[in-house]
Amino acid sequence: MKILPAACLVVLVLALAGCQTAGVGPDQATTFFNEVAYRSSPGGHPVSLAARTTEAYRQAKLRRWESDLVLHLGGAAVPDLRAHGRRVMGDLAALAGLGLTETDDAEAANFVILFEDRQQFLAGVAERASCYAHIRARGGVLHHVEIHVGLRNEGLLKHCLSHEILHGFGLVHTNALPSAVNYAYWVDLPTRWDRLAVRTLYDRRLTVDMDRIEGLAIAHDILTETMDDD
């Protein structure tokens, strides 16, 4: 296989992103929201039509924060990555309408990011990852996130950090549109679609006890209103 220069790869990814998002309207944006917020695409793979007919699929609920965030950045002193983490956290917290403060005390924080001199972590029974998020929630309400970032993966770190922070805000994997949680796109910052999904997820018209069908109807209305503003 011929290896393209990095500059060519960047141009190719941007071109593909433009092709996939040209003419995207509220219907497609709602499909994206369904995947990232209702966890309908585990691991970034589509759910079968048969699975979509089950009561469990219908009854899926949202997960989000209902309290302000207290951030702790720990581990290695990596000023550039810490600044990136603060930027992404600040942008997403503002979109979500959540307060954000920072503390030096990890025990006092509910959103912890640790930078470690590691290549990989064992993130599951047999899954290795460059970074991962450990997320705790009760009844659809997030209450603690701890992100681990392995620093031996140069070139991937900002993407990896943004990816895990989005998980920490309640979004999962997708293959619907360009996104920092779409494995087809290696972007350093959350995309327009990620930002819209966060705004929608934290809109007070949605609640964590709504089932998928009720919630998606409201999400479609929200996206119809907000897409032109982003």
Q: Which domain holds residue 116?
A: 64-169
Distance of CA 211 to the CA centre of its chain: 21
Could you tell me if 223 and 147 lie in one domain?
Answer: no
Task: Give residue 50's pLDDT.
Answer: 54
Task: Give residue 121's pLDDT.
Answer: 67
Task: Give residue 53's pLDDT.
Answer: 61
Residue 4 in domain = no
* Beta strands 131-138; 141-150: pairing state: antiparallel
Could you tell me if 129 and 154 lie in one domain?
Answer: yes
Residues of the chain with pLDDT under 50: 1-20, 42-44, 125
**Of 169, 203, 220, which one is at a domain's C-terminal end?**
169
Task: Please give the tally of structural domains in the chain.
Answer: 2
Q: What's the pTM?
A: 0.84
Task: Give residue 18's pLDDT.
Answer: 40
The answer to whether the beta carbons of residues 180 and 187 sit under 8 Å apart is: yes
Residue 38 in domain = yes
Please report, for residues 27, 125, 214, 218, 227, the alpha-carbon distance to residue 222 in angstroms, rounded to integers and kept in the order given: 11, 38, 13, 6, 8
Could you tell me if 81 and 95 lie in one domain?
Answer: yes
Q: Tens of pLDDT along 88-97?
A: 999 999 999 9
Could you tell me if 86 and 124 lie in one domain?
Answer: yes
Task: Give residue 46's pLDDT.
Answer: 53
Tokens of 161: 């950090």
Could you tell me if 70 and 51 lie in one domain?
Answer: no
Return the CATH number at 141.
3.40.390.10
Q: Tens of pLDDT along 180-226?
A: 999 889 999 999 999 999 999 999 999 999 999 999 999 999 999 99
Could you tell me if 54 and 89 lie in one domain?
Answer: no
